[in-house]
Amino acid sequence: MHRYAAYVTELIGTFFLVFTVGMSLLIGSPLAPLAIGAMLMVMVYAGGHVSGGHYNPAVTMGALVRRRVDVADAVAYWVVQLVAGLLGARLAYWAVNPRAVGTLNLSGRTLLAALLVEALFTFALVYVMLNVATSSSNPNNSFYGLAIGFTVAAGAIAVGPLSGAAFNPAVTAGIAALGLLAWSTALMYLIVQVLAGVVAGYAFLALNPDEVRARRVDEEHEEHEEAAHR
């Protein structure tokens, strides 16, 4: 299970890195380097303890030479990294083109694109938060706030002009109440954001099976203690 968890982790991290690169560059953000670097940083924080946080075939090659991964794992990493890169680039191209850059006209194709990026970056935010703030592999760390904050920063720079970069049902409700977003659109945002949170939660559990086992052991221990005190 750990081996497949590493492959999926590489897929997720590489996808979000390439998607952020594509969105930042296609939108023409002057802060593209910050968004790209921030996304790489948070994905390394989030997935480093599972896969090593390569997200780059060249890094995997170096790890293979150093014998940190074997040939089978290296080939699998390369496959998922390339698939994730192509998918991230294609989705970024679809989301940005064709549209009037600099406008936020949420209807038709642009609305679908906005819903897509809200779902993706809400997933990224929850995925990073669960890994850096709740994982026993990162106990008492001092970087979780930085990682979570930079996830939002990367998303805001990459897709803010397209969707408004809410990534949070509370934020969505707030900007709708301010009249900056139609309530009908806000409802769709809320749905995709909540679903993204659910998917991120299941992704964390699937990629961190030790967390599930540890939780079960703790629950069984608590039940035994409660039974002993009765």
Q: Quick: pLDDT tens for 179-226.
A: 778 888 889 998 998 899 989 888 888 888 877 666 665 555 566 666
Number of helices and strands in the chain (H, E): 9, 0
Say how far apart CA 62 and CA 197 lie, in whole Å.
Answer: 34
What is the maximum alpha-carbon separation in the chain?
A: 68
What integer pLDDT is reported at residue 178 of this predicted model?
A: 64
Percent of the chain surpassing pLDDT 90: 13
What integer pLDDT is reported at residue 102 of this predicted model?
A: 41
Question: For residue 100, which phi and psi values (nearest 5 degrees)?
Answer: -80, 105
Say how far apart CA 69 and CA 77 lie, in whole Å.
Answer: 10
Say how far apart CA 161 and CA 140 lie, in whole Å.
Answer: 36
Query: What's the mean pLDDT in 83-94?
Result: 86
Domains and CATH numbers, the chain: 2-229 (1.20.1080)
pTM of the model: 0.69
